[in-house]
Structure 1
Amino acid sequence: MDEITLNNGVRIPQRGFGVFQVPLEDTQAAVEKAIEIGYRHIDTAAAYNNEAGVGAAVRAGGLPREELFVTTKLRNGEHGYESALTAYDETLQRLGLEYADLYLVHWPNPTADRYVDSWRALERIYTDGRVRAIGVSNFLPEHLDRLAKEGEIVPAVNQIELHPSYQQHDLTELCREHSIAITAYSPLGQGGDLDHPVLASIAGDHQVSPAQVVLRWHLQRGHVVIPKSVNPERIRANFDLDGFALTDDQLASITALDSGNRLGSDPRTMAISQIR
């Protein structure tokens, strides 16, 4: 299993299983299948309304808790110091777990202007030993710069939209400079990137799928990836990334596909409270 070491020494599996938009009633079965296939990193969020299914699968999977890495996130409607502390307690209750491995501020939500207070709450949770690592999601350079000035702990992770057609080079470079690991969500461009002839050609060279090529590109660039699916065959294929490696030229040809095509919300304006 590919792993990277976060800036606090905690190791995180690069191949994660995401459950965004997976209905709660389907979550436990999907996560159990992912664990059976070999995934050891599960990514959820309070806003996904399926933390309970993730926790049930973790408890039912038969593996020691320390062999699984669980990421979850603070929703926008719970920003603020005290509310973030309470939100983490509620997240653990829904998960039915004693701790999360990684807790993220899901969006900066700058219109509310409480993400620094939320970050201080995460710092408290971390220094109290109640979570193994803390980080952020969808934070842009201006948000990270403010945390650097007003916070005490450098985020371990920034989870951002990243795929061949939207690579956020300046942001990823800033994160690397500060030893902030990148987790790529929508790593396949929600499927939209997979029809490109460059990917089809590389896939043919290795006798794998275009999706596997893109995920391998992420791994070789040092990203954590969290593709989601409820289809067992696709869950397995997204994990089966061993047995081939992309050449430097192939990596460069995929990197050249960047077109600035964002699919998700703009972190500068995203202010939905993510009400359950």
Structure 2
Amino acid sequence: MNPKLVGLLVFVVVAALVAVARRHPDAAMAFATRWAAPIIMTLAYVTLAITSDVDNTGKAWMTMGLAFVLVVWWIVRLLTGRAALARAIGVGDAERILALASKELASRRNEVARAPFRLACATAHDIRGEWREVIAELDRVDPGALAAQAPLRQTATTMRVGALVELGDLAAARAALGPSTIGSLPLSLSTIGSLSTKSSGMASSDQLHGVLAEGRVLTAEGAHDQAEQVLVRVTDNIRATPMQRATAFHYRAQLATTRGDAKAAAAYRAEVSRFAPTSWMTPPPHA
């Protein structure tokens, strides 16, 4: 094919894209962010194949090269997105979580595949203290996805428990926190007591979801001594995420206030501010 004709076609395509972008800038930016790289790479490879003086074998090798580059791009994009979302959840950045999760939800139609990102949206509402929104988002999670994936089921259940505790529905929270709904982690106090930071089998952050939920329910039930024993397993566990430790410190501050230990309560609140400065548990500076 004539190189001038190829150049003309590329110019026409670019001009059309620019015209569309000027009329719909937001949609164009979203499209460019997602698809600009593979489109540019494809156009470059096609142009190279058309203008190069190679036989069909050479063009076949170019096609395989393009396929390899696109696969690598897709894997890197997938891993980068998941890592960014995990980081946002870990540090409690609700706005970032919603932005990333909404982007992932928009690109998926299968509800099973969307389940982790719906949980991420629920997590963002949890960080903000929007409890009814948490439950509403959890209700939208596909039950089949929860049945097939124990970690998702455990996270969803314990998040629902926390929201119910904050809404004052203690009976529903305790009912949800049953051994059959938490997954593989039994939440008896003897088991929780074994999850010490000094033990070789230190609980993971996934397991600590259930431990933290038990601590929240015990605090609301007035079992203060037991709640303290449970919550300390979260605050002192180096595998806990910042949000998990902040939440546990928040409830320990409540317990300290109840027993009249103002100094300990202030120290725990300082830890909350350190671990989750933008969450609902940290009051604004003027408060």
TMscore range, shorter length: under 0.3
Whose Rg is larger?
Answer: 2
- Structure richer in strand, relative to its length: 1
Query: Higher relative contact order at CA 8 Å, sep ≥6: structure 1 or structure 2?
Result: 1
- Structure richer in helix, relative to its length: 2
